[in-house]
Structure 1
Amino acid sequence: MTARDARLHAFRSDLADARLKGEVAADRFVAGRPARITASVADVRKAPRPDAGVNTQLLFGDDVLVFEVAEGWAWIQAERDGYVGYIADTMLGGQDHAATHIVSVQRTFLYPGPDLRFPIAGQLSMGSTVTVTGAAETRGTHYAVLPSGEAIIAGHLRPLSDVAADYVSVAEMFLGTPYLWGGTSGFGIDCSGLVQLAMRMAGSDVLRDSDMQAATLGEPLDPGPDYAGLRRGDLVFWKGHVAVMTDTDTVIHANGHTMLVSREGLKEAITRIGYLYGGTTGFRRP
């Protein structure tokens, strides 16, 4: 049998994705059932327990395949990046409507109707996808109306077909966002989550973890002496960490040092991170 990354392929000794039949050993193979994330942010855990570590998060509107539901937990695989894990089954719903728009600001509110004075019904992160079925205006503020009758500020959405011109500019919108291990949203984000979400908003769906990104994103790059060959948008990798060049000398990254998304001089970051975790492991140009 070919070795498979369990983060990206749904298989256990007792159960596996039917698409892996003949490639992995399992007692039973099932086809995934399509479903959609209905929670603002869904923690994807390593095991079906509330105390299990969070590997990543899915956002409102993300589509998944469900392989098993048992004792309040669903074993799923994200359609967009292939990540496999466990989420609370209460966070799943049907795919009743095709998504039309994506949240394009760091965070926004969901209102029970088109009026910003209403108590909020929820909050959504950049990257969340919704179905817009109508429009409304209240006291000069324009709203997008969803099939549920709930409303979002229209200016906080863009059509799915529209993409940002520069993924680094998207990443810079998250400056000051709290660092969160496994985070992928405007409420809390980690280093590779920042890269993934920013690139998604610029039209590129990329893999989730920093080692996956280091192996697949763009082309390897030799920055040359004193890192003079780096430019805006290049990626700098360490073991378990990634940062984005914002100019020839500066990076932006979600990091555990400041516990924020922050800017830092590249050479300062290399020295600081190297002291504890070792030197850079590579550079890539998307």
Structure 2
Amino acid sequence: MLDRRLNAFRPDLADIALKGQVEAERFVTPEPAMVSRPVVALRPKPDRAIGIDTELLLGEEVHVFERAEGWAWVQAIGDGYVGYLPEDALGPVVTPTHIVTVPRTFVYSGADLRFPTRMVLSMGSRLRIAGEAETRGTRYLLLADGGALVARHLGPVSDPPAPDYVSVAGLFHETPYLWGGKSGFGIDCSGLVQIAMRMAGHAAPRDSDMQASGLGMPIERRALRRGDLVFWKGHVAIMEDEMTMIHANGHTMTVARETLEAAIERIGWLYGAPTGYRRPVAET
């Protein structure tokens, strides 16, 4: 059985790429689109009353299989996740030039930090920059509509990625926990792993069970070091060194640090012992 989180198929409609693998009344070739909001929730059904599976950020590309009643049924190109989002959260595909490299940043109405803000963006958001300006010694990058961002909060998408994904994860310390969250405004355990690894140039699946089954290579607990992952049923944490880990968790409702031993003792009574350990990035 194909995973519905990663394959677009329903009894009435399916991705043309799945023809011969699933049964559906109709197969369609998807249309490309791009997320046009700072953050948009992706849901398993077109219903705002149900919980979210994940989030997509400004500038993320999707394949659109259906637009109906204000919803779009899409698949994220970045990690393959399938779900529903508001149709008006999508726009045409443009080639981004820059990516946000800090947890959060503002888009101002012009090149001045005293100007009103238009929106707030998360790390990982992608934009097309049309120009630059400088005001009182601060350099700004400009959007085509006149919006401005502090230049030091962005990096060219062509630049080398961050050298250490664990350091990227550390930038999210004390970010609120959000089930399904994947942004600097709210994030869950596997979302933290995914966005930190992406910023360091490494692909990672979205959910913790996907990461536990296929990300990197399994290792023994005694081999744990910085950058390794510890898994429990439905949870993942990042080791900052041999003893300390960082994770988005429902206990503190934040991204927090604690020792592995303390976490094992605290989590064990409800969820049991860790289910595995993995090294997501091979040695070079």
Whether TM-score is above 0.5 comes out as: yes
Q: Which amino acid aligns with 2:115?
A: F
Partner of residue 70 from structure 2, selected from 69, 72, 75: 72
Decide which moves more: 173-182 or 270-279. 270-279
Indicate the SS of the match to 2:221.
coil
User: Mapping of 1:37-186 within 5 angstroms?
Assistant: 37-95=35-93, 97-161=94-158, 162-186=160-184
Decide which moves more: 55-64 or 114-123. 114-123
Distance 2:99 2:201 in 1: 12
Distance 2:239 2:43 in 1: 30
CA shift for structure 1 position 166: 0.4
CA shift for structure 1 position 264: 0.6
Relative to structure 1, is the Cα distance of residues 9 and 100 closer, same or farther in structure 2, using a 3 angstrom cutoff? same
Query: Deviation above 2 Å: which 4+ runs of structure 1?
Result: none
CA shift for structure 1 position 94: 0.3
Indicate the SS of the match to 1:110.
strand
Partner of residue 269 from structure 1, selected from 241, 263, 270: 263
Distance 2:81 2:117 in 1: 31
Say how many residue pairs are matched: 279
CA shift for structure 1 position 156: 0.2
Distance 1:219 1:147 in 2: 44
- Residues 49-95 of structure 1 deviation map (CA, whole Å, 9 limit, x = unaligned): 11021000000000001111111111000000000000011100001
Percent identity at matched positions?
61
CA shift for structure 1 position 223: 1.9
Decide which moves more: 114-123 or 53-62. 114-123
CA shift for structure 1 position 117: 1.3
Report what 1:187 is aligned to. Answer: 185
Report what 2:2 is aligned to. Answer: 4
Indicate the SS of the match to 1:58.
strand
Report what 2:277 is aligned to. Answer: 283
Q: Which runs of 5+ in 1 are unaligned?
A: none
Distance 2:48 2:97 in 1: 33
Distance 1:33 1:115 in 2: 38
2:250 pairs with 1:252: no
Decide which moves more: 143-152 or 15-24. 143-152
Partner of residue 229 from structure 2, selected from 206, 229, 235: 235
CA shift for structure 1 position 138: 1.3
Decide which moves more: 159-168 or 169-178. 159-168
Q: Which runs of 5+ in 2 are unaligned?
A: none
Q: Which amino acid aligns with 1:24?
A: V
Distance 2:82 2:144 in 1: 29
Q: Which amino acid aligns with 1:210?
A: S
Scaled by the length of structure 2, the TM-score of the pair is: 0.97
Distance 1:235 1:242 in 2: 7
Report what 1:15 is aligned to. Answer: 13
Distance 1:115 1:34 in 2: 35
Distance 2:203 2:99 in 1: 14
Distance 1:111 1:70 in 2: 34
Q: Which amino acid aligns with 2:264?
A: I
CA shift for structure 1 position 148: 2.1
Distance 1:242 1:235 in 2: 7
Distance 1:111 1:188 in 2: 22
Decide which moves more: 111-120 or 82-91. 111-120
- Residues 222-252 of structure 1 deviation map (CA, whole Å, 9 limit, x = unaligned): 123xxxx210000000110000000110110
Decide which moves more: 61-70 or 130-139. 130-139
